[in-house]
Structure formats: C-alpha cells, structure tokens
Amino acid sequence: MGRPGQHATLLARLATGIGLVLAPVACGAAATQETTAGEATAPQTDQGPRHTNALAGESSPYLLQHAHNPVDWHPWGAAAIELARAQDKPIFLSIGYSTCYWCHVMERETFEDEELAALINEYFVPIKVDREELPTVDDVYMTAVQLRTGSGGWPLSLFLDPESLDVFFGGTYFPPRGSEAQPGMETIVTVLGKRWAEGEAARVPLLEDARRLGNAVREVLSKPRPPAPLDGSIVDLAVNRVLARYDSINGGFGTAPKFPSEPELELLAEVAGEREDAARALERTLEAMAMGGIHDQLGGGFHRYSTDATWTVPHFEKMLYTQGQLAPLYATGAESFERPWFAGVAQGVLTYVAVELTGENGRYLSAQDAEVNAREGQSFLWSQEQMRAALDGFDPQVVVAVISDLGLTEGGNFVDPHHPAERGLSVLRLAVPPDAGETPLWKDAGFAAAMGRLLAVRRLRDQPATDDKTLAGWSGLMAAGAASAGASLRDSDAIASAAQALKLVDTSLRDGDGRLHRSWRAGRLGPLAVSEDHAFLLRGLLALHSATGDEAWLERAVEVYDEARTLYWDEIGGGWFDSAPGGHDLLPIRAKTVGDGATPAANSELLLAAVELARRTEQERFLEDATAAIRFLSTTLASNPPSMPRAVIAIRRLLQFAPERMPAPPSLPAARDSQVAFYLERTAADHSQLTLTLEITEGFHINAPDPGAIGLAGLELELSGAPDVELEATLPDGEPFTGPLDDVILLVLEGRIEIPLALRGDLGDPEQVRLSVSYQVCDDRQCYPPRRVDLRLP
C-alpha cells in the first residue's frame, strides 16, 4: 500500500515547478473473465495484436499481460541491461504481479497509451519484472523506493543508471498525465529522459542521487551488523510490542489499511497458553477477520488485506500464501478457544484452495485475481435487489434475515473509486458472530441453504482470473498450512494434498542438475530458487512430519536444509543470504533480508527450521547454525523485537530445550582510547569467524585503508602468534572527506565500523594469538600520530 511520496526534489531541480506526489497505491487485481491471468486483452488488428515485444516469449502470467503493449518491454536479464549500456540509455524498471489492481490500472492508462509508450521507448530501455518470480530484484528496489519516499507498493516504477543499476528516481503508481499537484508519467519520462540525453554533465545530479540511494540500500540490506545483547526477555518484549498496536475494538493491528499480519498472529498463538492478553487479542482478531469482508463468506478463503479498519472492504485478490498461513491459525483456534465455527472457517480455506488454487496433479497455483471486466471486486459484490433475485423461492423471512445477517444496506458499503456514481453494492460480511445466540448461524439450515444458493449464483458470473504458475516457496507455505490444519481437523485429504504438492515441487521444479527453481508454468521452469523457497519448503516438510509421524519427511527436511545451507549460508557473518553466490539476478548487491512481512523472511524461517531440526534429530550442527543466526539477527531483534515474529518463536523454542545455546552477550571493549573503542566478537562456535567493530567518537575519524594522500597512515590489520593462519578481512573503502586543504579529498571512516574477519588454517593456542590494529585518528583540523592496539581473541 503506497501513500503520497516525500521526495520531490529531483524533478524540482531538473524542471522548474515540477514536484512529485505519489498517488495512493492499493494492489487489488486485474485480468479478464474465466482465463488465466496471463491472457490479457491487447489492441487487435485483423492480423492479431498490433504490438508484440520481447515478453511474448516468457511464461510468467504477469509478463505475458504486457507482451502486446506498445512499450518495448524486455524481461530482466543480462541482454536487456547490456542493451541499455550499449545504447547509453537509462533503464525504466516496472515491477508488479499479475493480480495487482493498480498494476493493471497503470497498464491501461500508461503502457497501452501509444504516445506515452513512444516516449518511454525513445528515452529508456524498459524492463518488466514479475516480483513473484524475482523476489530478490523486488526487495532491492522496494527498499530503494521506501528509503526515498517513506512508503512502497506496486507497481514499482523506477529509473536506473544502466551501469550501477542504482535508482536515481522512483515511486509506485504514477498517473499518465499529471496536474499542478502531481506530475504524471508523461512529465517524468520527458524531464528525466531529456536530461540524460543532454550528456554527462547534465547527468551529474541523477548519478549523484543514484550513488547516494544505492549506498543507502546496501547499508540496509548487506552491511554487516555486530551482535547486540539478547536474552529470553526478547519473547515478552516482542509480544508486548505487538499488543501495543492491537485494535481492541476491531481486532488486528494498527488502522487502515489492515493486513492479517500472519507472523504476528502466529507469535500470539505461540504464547497464548501462557499469556491471557495474547490469547484475547488472537481470538478477537480471528473472529473479526472471519466476520469481515476480507473473508469470502460464500466461497471461503481470505483476500489479501482490508482497505479499512473494520475488515469490511478488501482488496480482492486472494494469495496462496495468505491461505496457507491462516488455515492452521483457525484450525487450532477452534480447539484453543472452543469456537467450532473457526474450524468451519479453516475448512472453508482448504476447500477454496482445493477448488480454485489447485491445478493438475495437485500442484498449487499462486493467486486469484479480483478485477473482472476491468471492475474491481465485481464478482464479489451484491445489491439487495441482486440477493433477493438469487434467493427467489426461499421463505421471504429467510431472505430478509440473510440480507440483514450479511450486512447489506440500500446504500451499500463499497464505492469503486473509478466509478463513484455507482452505489448500492456491498461486500458480504457477517453482522454478528455466527456462533452467538441461542440459534447460531453456523448451525442454521436455512442460512446454510441460502449461502449455498448465493455461491451457485455467483459462480454463474464472470470469474476472476487465476495466476496459474506454481511457486516453490508458496507451495511450501500452503502445504504447511494444509498439513497442520488437516491434523487439527482430522482431515486426511488435506494432509494428502500437502504431501502431493510437495512431491510435485520436488520433481517438477528441479532441473536436470537437481537444482530447485522458483517457479513452473506450462511445462517451463522459471528462475532459480532463492532462500525463501527452501525456507518455506522446510516449513511444509516439517509440518508433514508433525502431521504424519513419517520419518521420511524429516529425512527430506534435513536434505533440503543442507541444500539451503550450501547455497545461502554466510560463513563469516552467520545467517542466510537471499540468493546463491552469483545468482543474485545481476543485482549490485547480495542481500540478507531481515523483517517478516506478509510472509516470513527467509532468515526467520530458516532459523526456526534449524531449531526444529536440532530438536527432532538431536544433531549439534543445527544448534550451531541457530546460535550463529541468532547472533546475526540480534541487532535487528534488539532494536525492533516484533519485526521478526517467526525468529522470536524460534528463540522461544530454543530456550525451551537448549537454553545454553543462546548466544552470549557481546563483551566489553577489547581496547579503547579517547577516540576509538575496539570490540572483537566471535560469530561462529570456534574462532574461524570474527567481527571487529570500531566505535569512533563523534568529531573524529580514522583514515581508511587507502586514505588517498601521502604521509597519512591507513587502517591496517595483522595477525600474530599463528603463522599457519591466513587472515581474511573485508576492509571498508571509506567515505570522501575534504580536509583543511579544500583541493584534497581523503577517504575516512567515521562512526561505527564493522569488519568481518575469517581465520583460515590451524590456529593452535588461541591465547597466544593477537590481532593488531594500526590506525591514525584525525579531526577536522589535524591528524594525530599513528597508533596500534593488540587485541586478544575472544
């Protein structure tokens, strides 16, 4: 969900009077009638589509939706990037997904506009990305937009330096043509394109913005972090912070827009047996969502999020990962809270997935659209008149009661922002909990019959399109949900569907070399898997082991974990990278994403998998990984405890069976002078991996390894007492600093500096080994004599 942007400075500098305001972005869905999401409508001639671009050869439904735009789209890849460099053009990068409502609005308004397409093609090399197939690309560029504007959403619209691939301008949805308050794509493309075309001197402000923003993105996504103090109190701290945002009236967290926030609900479920406040918040949230319009009252399943605080009007797309995470929460909640109705909600989710999001041979499909005939939510909306007609033949008193029970009013509760004059349509929501009163709705035969009739009538309408690609990771999430919910509901069919789906992933989504791929559609494999794919597959495998007791699932989980460790594990800093070495999709950064969102971060889920594998197999190696991963995540968790609920669950479980494996808190400084404190910490069980942290007093700096001037001493590291050991250190380049002589620009280090170290070889007696740090402290006026400290190994 986007909101008005915060940074209008670049266009204002480039063209007088132009500023940027990002329009609100709310991704719903778009496509055509009973089709797959890739079958988009395009301008036709007697000979077929008027335009065809390079996306026509792709298999992604989202990319195929744009294959006949007049914009000369290219898929993300080396060929498109090299084309931009060869033509000396910047890149226009558009990122979205097939069921995103505002993505389709922008396609209709901008990318099908012949004049705007001509401008884009003239000044840029346009590249299209399906965020569901290339999540690492999406993460990097979403971070850039969030840092620049303070918010994000889809579609992402970005303008890139073709050499560095850093962003010099970006936002989310832009209208085709703007106003005084908000420039449109026509203005943005023209101003930026012409400025780039003017040559190197004119590009300086663009490239400087790209450099600054690129450095900020790298700081967020890949900069090593020293460990922070962390203990068992983190669990209560995280729960307290989640509950601080709890909406006690409407359930859920925060205000509008309101997301289910599944990982946070899972954390509350984890502690609900011990904390009454968490249990109350969880039960009320599950109740409120199930009553609301975010829950499909007729067909089952949940939409992605609500546009309002009361869960009434959703954005109508339905995502596989939403169903996979919510089904077990309702299934276990039915027993925990003695609410049998919740079991029906869970069963409805499983039935919806079986009917709408399961393909041939039992493979899971990724999402269902909500825009039908270019109208958002059309198939889900009802007027009182439509409902009376649908229930023709029912007892009139039953009809009146059903209209009341489903919250239909004359004025309706839904307004289409593109057709505001149309009124009287409503999203169905329950007026009261269906298990309330002496005759609860969920046991009322007349109500059930009416709901069945309404669903049958709805199915006669034009239906939302389905994005029919299979995603490895999302299949793992859904399999975990089906297995866990199936175990709670004693539904063997649900467990069997989970098993079948994961078996298909393990066969259909691997290539001839056994490598796991992210996606499959129409017989074609998509990009290689990323760490979240392995993480979510592990979640599914472990859930199947729990549901069935079959050790084969545990054995396969160990194999998948080992594969993930080989591909993604950070041997120096701990934790898991988002992508394999050399497989980060041409990006200028190999990121290690932290922070759970609509789905958990790979680092959270892999940490929880390591803890569970340690508990179930009693193998020490999993505990070693868990300890190192917690150390890596400790800074994030200490500063923002609820940001990674699944990691907090992992820590809670580790404390239950192996509390001694919680990482020790960081030590006191190994050395200190009046300007610099030195910390040396282990980031592995032995001394093979260390982090050297320098904290430099404000107002001072030390020279970078190569400060750029004769006579200055740069930072140097040396290992003594271990002649057979090779020291590997990733030393920072430093930041530019203009010294007393304005014509001399130096490279210096300021603030807090973290340096990952690796010791390769036989260390011998660690007590005899010293790490020597040579450095020179300076201030704005002068440099002091070089110094050296010798640090013992921790």
Q: Which of 300, 298, 280, 281 shows the shortest CA–CA distance to 343?
A: 300
Please, are residues 632 and 570 in contact by the beta-carbon 8 Å criterion? Answer: yes
Q: Radius of gyration (Cα) for the chain, nearest Å?
A: 28
Write the DSSP assignment of 721-790 as a string of letters.
Answer: S-TT-EEEE-----EEEE-SSTT-EEEEE-SEEEEEEEEES----GGG-EEEEEE-EE-SS-BPPPEEEE
Average pLDDT score over residue span 290-298 = 98
Instruction: Determine the Cα–Cα distance for residues 259 and 56; give it in Å rounded to an integer.
Output: 34
Whether the pLDDT of residue 738 is over 90: the answer is no
Whether the pLDDT of residue 739 is over 80: the answer is no
Q: Which of 169, 149, 104 shows the shortest CA–CA distance to 4?
A: 149
Task: Determine, yes or no, domain membership for 204.
Answer: yes
- Sheet-wide strand order for 777-778: 735-738, 745-749, 701-703, 777-778
Task: Determine, yes or no, domain membership for 399.
Answer: yes
pLDDT tens for 744-778 read 788 999 998 999 999 999 888 888 899 999 999 99
Instruction: Determine the Cα–Cα distance for residues 193 and 195; give it in Å rounded to an integer.
Output: 5
Instruction: Determine the Cα–Cα distance for residues 630 and 608; give it in Å rounded to an integer.
Output: 10
DSSP state of 110: I
Residue 11, CA atoms < 13 Å, CB-side half-sphere: 27
pLDDT tens for 657-695 read 999 888 876 655 667 777 898 988 887 767 888 899 999
- 699: which 2 tokens? 């107002």
Please, are residues 144 and 167 in contact by the beta-carbon 8 Å criterion? Answer: yes
Task: Determine, yes or no, domain membership for 484.
Answer: no
> pLDDT-derived band of residue 440, with 50, 70 and 90 as boundaries?
confident
The neighbour count for residue 703, using CB atoms within 10 Å, is 24
Residue 727's DSSP bridge partners are 759
Q: Which of 608, 454, 474 shows the shortest CA–CA distance to 546?
A: 608
More reliable by pLDDT, 418 or 544: 544
Write the DSSP assignment of 628-677 as a string of letters.
Answer: HHHHHHHHHHHH-GGG-HHHHHHHHHHHHH-GGGSPPPPPSPSEE-SSEE
SS3 (DSSP) at 577:
coil
Q: Which of 486, 504, 517, 405 shows the shortest CA–CA distance to 451?
A: 405
Write the DSSP assignment of 164-178 as a string of letters.
Answer: T--EEEEES---SS-
Residue type, 679: Y
H or E stretch including 156? strand 156-160
Task: Determine, yes or no, domain membership for 694.
Answer: yes
Residue 419, CA atoms < 13 Å, CB-side half-sphere: 11
Whether the pLDDT of residue 14 is over 50: the answer is no
Instruction: Determine the Cα–Cα distance for residues 498 and 33; give it in Å rounded to an integer.
Output: 29
Task: Determine, yes or no, domain membership for 416.
Answer: yes
Instruction: Show which of 430, 445, 461 is a domain's final residue.
Output: 461
DSSP state of 719: E
Counting beta carbons within 10 angstroms of the beta carbon of residue 553, is it exposed (0 to 12), middle (13 to 18) or buried (19 or more)?
A: buried
DSSP state of 717: E
Q: Which of 487, 489, 373, 379 shows the shortest CA–CA distance to 425?
A: 379
- Report the chain's terminal Cα–Cα distance, integer Å: 46
**pLDDT for 273:** 96
Task: Determine, yes or no, domain membership for 541.
Answer: no
- 499: which 2 tokens? 């098993």
**pLDDT for 536:** 99
**pLDDT for 31:** 29
* 415-421: long-range contacts, CB 8 A cutoff, minimum separation 24: 416/375, 416/376, 416/377, 418/105, 418/376, 419/375
Instruction: Determine the Cα–Cα distance for residues 408 and 377; give it in Å rounded to an integer.
Output: 16
Residue 541: alpha-carbon gap to chain centroid: 22
Instruction: Determine the Cα–Cα distance for residues 287 and 519; give it in Å rounded to an integer.
Output: 34
Share of the chain above pLDDT 70, in %: 92
pLDDT tens for 381-418 read 999 999 999 999 999 999 999 999 999 999 999 998 77
Please, are residues 188 and 169 in contact by the beta-carbon 8 Å criterion? Answer: yes
SS3 (DSSP) at 693:
strand
**pLDDT for 666:** 63
**pLDDT for 588:** 81
Please, are residues 465 and 36 in contact by the beta-carbon 8 Å criterion? Answer: yes
Sequence-separated (6 or more) residues with CB below 8 Å from residue 49: 42, 43, 68
**pLDDT for 743:** 61
Please, are residues 83 and 74 in contact by the beta-carbon 8 Å criterion? Answer: yes
Whether the pLDDT of residue 474 is over 90: the answer is yes
Instruction: Determine the Cα–Cα distance for residues 188 and 206; give it in Å rounded to an integer.
Output: 13
> Which range among 201-205, 277-281, 745-749 shows the weakest confidence by mean pLDDT?
745-749
pLDDT tens for 720-734 read 998 999 999 989 999
Instruction: Determine the Cα–Cα distance for residues 173 and 487; give it in Å rounded to an integer.
Output: 43
Q: Which of 369, 608, 582 shows the shortest CA–CA distance to 476?
A: 608
DSSP state of 49: E
> pLDDT-derived band of residue 45, with 50, 70 and 90 as boundaries?
low
H or E stretch including 336? helix 320-336
Task: Determine, yes or no, domain membership for 429.
Answer: yes
Looking only at the bridges linking them, the beta strands covering 519-521 and 470-471 are antiparallel
Average pLDDT score over residue span 493-509 = 97
Instruction: Show which of 411, 426, 461 is a domain's final residue.
Output: 461
Please, are residues 327 and 481 in contact by the beta-carbon 8 Å criterion? Answer: yes
Please, are residues 80 and 586 in contact by the beta-carbon 8 Å criterion? Answer: no
> pLDDT-derived band of residue 357, with 50, 70 and 90 as boundaries?
very high
**pLDDT for 9:** 40
The torsion defined by the Cα of 435, 328, 544 and 622, in degrees rounded to 10, comes to -140
Cis amide bond preceding 659, omega within 30: no
Q: Return the biggest CA–CA distance within the chain.
A: 96
Instruction: Determine the Cα–Cα distance for residues 440 and 444; give it in Å rounded to an integer.
Output: 6
Find the domain containing 116 and state its range: 9-222
- 715: which 2 tokens? 């930072």
Task: Determine, yes or no, domain membership for 395.
Answer: yes
**pLDDT for 44:** 58
Looking only at the bridges linking them, the beta strands covering 689-696 and 676-682 are antiparallel
**pLDDT for 421:** 81
Instruction: Show which of 461, 480, 506 is a domain's final residue.
Output: 461
**pLDDT for 766:** 86
Angle between helices 472-489 and 492-508 (to 10 degrees): 160
> pLDDT-derived band of residue 740, with 50, 70 and 90 as boundaries?
low
Indicate the number of domains in the chain.
3
**pLDDT for 665:** 67
Whether the pLDDT of residue 8 is over 80: the answer is no
**pLDDT for 42:** 54
> pLDDT-derived band of residue 618, with 50, 70 and 90 as boundaries?
very high
Q: Which of 53, 70, 59, 68 shows the shortest CA–CA distance to 37?
A: 59
Q: List, in sequence order, the alpha helices (H) in 50-183.
A: 61-65, 78-87, 101-106, 114-123, 135-149
Instruction: Determine the Cα–Cα distance for residues 763 and 769; give it in Å rounded to an integer.
Output: 8
Residue type, 287: E
Whether the pLDDT of residue 35 is over 60: the answer is no
SS3 (DSSP) at 452:
helix
Instruction: Determine the Cα–Cα distance for residues 563 and 553; give it in Å rounded to an integer.
Output: 15
Q: What is the mean pLDDT of the chain?
A: 90
Instruction: Determine the Cα–Cα distance for residues 406 and 392; give it in Å rounded to an integer.
Output: 17
Q: Which of 661, 324, 627 shows the shortest CA–CA distance to 479?
A: 324
β strands within 510-579, DSSP E: 519-521, 524-525
